[in-house]
Amino acid sequence: DSGVTQTPKHLITATGQRVTLRCSPRSGDLSVYWYQQSLDQGLQFLIQYYNGEERAKGNILERFSAQQFPDLHSELNLSSLELGDSALYFCASSVEGQVDTQYFGPGTRLLVL
């Protein structure tokens, strides 16, 4: 158990809908990262938040957004969903020191029908 929690574990929805994925980092970690894992793309970095502020962005679609709240939990919002958004979504957290080991949560499996 990494100490990172994610809810829900599974999500099934229809095209055009909007969903919210939630992540709670390990105790003491200030950084939260979101990654997408699909069969053809592997693990891809989406976005990083550090202590409530956006720190870095990867190839995140404009339909996707995220935020980190004062209690440090984070939410990833996916809107206008398409079939191709079906994937595993992982959250990771770290202290963000000189070298940054990221610990991953169990993931949310999203299926868009």
Partner 1 sequence: EDQVTQSPEALRLQEGESSSLNCSYTVSGLRGLFWYRQDPGKGPEFLFTLYSAGEEKEKERLKATLTKKESFLHITAPKPEDSATYLCAVQGSNDYKLSFGAGTTVTVRA
Residues at the interface with partner 1 (CB under 8 A): 2, 4, 31, 33, 35, 42-45, 48, 55-56, 58, 88, 90, 92, 94, 96, 98-107, 109
How far apart are alpha carbons 2 and 110 in whole angstroms?
21
CB-nearer residue toward partner 1: 24 or 94:
94
CB-nearer residue toward partner 1: 40 or 62:
40
CB-nearer residue toward partner 1: 13 or 44:
44
Per the omega criterion (within 30 degrees of 0), is the bond before 70 cis? no
Q: Encoding tokens for residue 86?
A: 């079906």
Which residue, 50, 49, 76, is CA-closest to 64?
76
